[in-house]
Amino acid sequence: MRISQALARPSERRRRRGGGLKSFRRRAVFRWRATPSIGGGKRRLASSTLIPSSGASTTTDYTSSTSQPPLGPMAFTDAVYKNKGDYELCEAVNIFSVKIASSDVGFPIHVYGTVIARDSIDEKCLYLFRRDRDHCQLINFEDESLILTGPKRGLALLTDNYVETDLKIKDHQGQDRELSKGILTIRGIAGRSLKKCEVESKSLATRLSTVDVMYAVVKCAVEATIAIEVLQGDFYGKITAHTTSIQNSLVLYDSEVVGAMTGDRNEVIQLMRPVVSVYVKDMLTIVARTGDGKSECTIQFTPRVNSRDEDELTVGVTKLRFKVAWSIMDP
């Protein structure tokens, strides 16, 4: 389906939402080209750069009924809308944390396996956590969160969304035991009356543990895909993102987890989680904090339904460039 067709009949497509995969999706690698700054504000970009992955496995086992990979981010960043009737906004979900709230075998434990999310856009696996047996995460105490590395695109909330756990532990004798295996449901828009963005949590009690999932339901959401470059100096610290209406932060990058970045040649930081769903009337706030806690800088972006923005800031002695690609999620 051509873009002109995809934008012409949003109400018709919405009626067909339950009928299978959408026929129009594009996965692309973009190059950034900055246009001159207007009025000293953030620069708007005519086309985009590579939005980095966060280093997750690139194997093609998608645990799906087909061999096609899940849809990527920025599906409609380059779409052209003549008026508001050319697109529709939908609700979305941001997953903040997946915690081992309790363990029948105590702590510490070495956890591996997967936690995935599914929405109704393509019903494929979107990995939130994915580690093999040789790369377990050490969980030292209850309520410690798994280190999340996804999803790689926005989670649209149309019908029910699902979070599925398949976690195991490696005990002191090196034997495998099932820690958590089950499905948690996030209620779709048909089952709720959403007047504002809300934070919710649910628990999944299975086998040897209870897993708590905390997430936000975001109304009238757009997808923000973030890329960050180190232009000068080294960056050692943490980068988080939150929105105006929900102050809970998503960890985009933590050097204690993935290592420090050196910017001698405009290095792209491999973000752990590059995508945030944002209420279209909110502001997206990104906070960069050095590892020693001595320097912190904040940058804000105004959500849009398409196109791109970029801006630069200096935190400590490090100069960073931030790029955001905007897209709707449900055409």
Per-domain boundaries in the chain: 90-219, 222-327
pTM over 0.85: no
Six-digit token string for 218 = 């975001």
Whether 90-219 shares its CATH topology with 222-327 is answered yes
How far apart are the C-alpha atoms of 153 and 75, rounded to whole Å?
9
96: alpha, beta or left, given left = phi > 0 and alpha = psi -120 to 50? alpha
The predicted structure's pLDDT at residue 258: 82
When pLDDT is cut at 50, 70 and 90, the band that residue 266 belongs to is low
CATH number at 222-327: 2.60.40
Selection from 1-15, 161-175, 279-293 with the highest mean pLDDT: 279-293
Residue-level pLDDT at 267: 84
Q: What percent of the chain has pLDDT over 90?
A: 66
Quick one: pLDDT at residue 1? 39
Residue 146 has pLDDT above 90, yes or no: yes
Task: Render pLDDT for 85-138 as a digit per residue (tens, 0 to 9).
Answer: 999 999 999 999 999 999 999 999 999 999 999 998 888 899 999 999 999 999
Q: Is pLDDT above 70 for 205?
A: yes
Q: pLDDT over 70 for what percent of the chain?
A: 77
Written as one string, the DSSP assignment of 250-317 is EEEEEHHHH--EE-TT-EEP--S--EEEEETTS-EEEEEEETTSS-EEEEEE---SSSEEEEEEEETT
Q: Which fold has domain 90-219?
A: Immunoglobulin-like (2.60.40)
Rounded to whole angstroms, the Cα distance separating 281 from 285 reads: 13
8 Å CB contact between 215 and 94: yes
Tell me phi and psi for residue 277, to 5 degrees.
-90, 135
> Per-residue pLDDT for 30 more than 90?
no
